[in-house]
Amino acid sequence: MLDSITPLLSDPAAWAALVTLIVMEVVLGIDNLIFISILSNKLPPEHRSRVRRIGISLALVMRLGLLSTIAWIVTLTAPVFSVMGNAFSWKDMILIAGGLFLVWKATKEIHHTVDPNPSRDLLDKDKDKGASVMINNAGAAIFQIILIDLVFSIDSILTAVGMTEHLPIMVVAVLVAITVMLVAADPLGDFIDKNPSVVMLALGFLLMIGMVLIAEGFGAYVPKGYIYAAMAFSAGVEVLNLLGRHSSSKREKALEAREAANLAEARAVRAEADAAADPAG
């Protein structure tokens, strides 16, 4: 193993491939992290961080496990059957299934958010049943995270295989990407939880990602650059909205404080006038 790594350390092309692959893996990991954040935020606060870390750790295990079976992974792109002239491989079927799951989950969560009387979800907390329900909810969240981890892991590893043939570069890129996910998990999850409009934006991202996975499964390739450019633009607009709301809130608080100060001053002046008009009082 060491003999295969040493030549790569002095190869500029290997370093370029590593940097490029790390960026790609981090970007692909964002999709996975958004799903984990939204799902974990439906749990009680004391369970969220643990479930996020379990989900990301499972993603790491899956990615490293798939890297150890690259010869088998590559065969997933071989056609298995064809329908009306369109060939489908195991990769296509996994992408379609994962896309349908994301579309279903995102649509359900959007409906749950906008419906004033939503039906009870698997992950909703039941205060009457105590901690046992919370444990079951965490288990349900982890199960759904495992399903989507599998889809994103296969997509991630196939991307890595397409960019380099060196296993050490793939392993390092995956480890760096997972480390970034671990560091960003709690801040991202807390940010999404504190900003309801961001939740809807993130669900919209999941819906779009699901549709892209389905399209790719049916052979309609959608350049990832367009997808992430659209996500970045939407996120930028939402940042401006958040800044606008924050600025408006500060102005309202300043106005309230000024009105309160004016009212207190008016009361003080009135009290002085009353005291001057009635010195015997």
Instruction: Return phi, psi of residue 220, to 5°.
Output: -95, 95
Q: What is the pLDDT of residues 224-238, one digit of tens each?
A: 777 778 878 888 888
Q: Which of 154, 177, 145, 140 is nearest to 54 (CA)?
A: 145
Query: How far does CA 269 lie from the centroid of its chain?
Result: 57
Question: What CA–CA distance (Å, rounded) separates 173 from 159?
Answer: 12
- Sorting pLDDT into bands at 50, 70 and 90, what band is 6? low
Residue 131 has a pLDDT of 43
Question: What CA–CA distance (Å, rounded) separates 254 from 95?
Answer: 52
Q: What is the DSSP track for 203-228?
A: HHHHHHHHHHHHHHHTT----HHHHH
Question: What CA–CA distance (Å, rounded) separates 67 from 69?
Answer: 5
Q: What is the pLDDT of residues 17-60, one digit of tens each?
A: 777 777 777 777 777 788 888 888 878 888 888 888 888 888 88
Determine if the pTM surpasses 0.75: no
159 has pLDDT over 50: yes
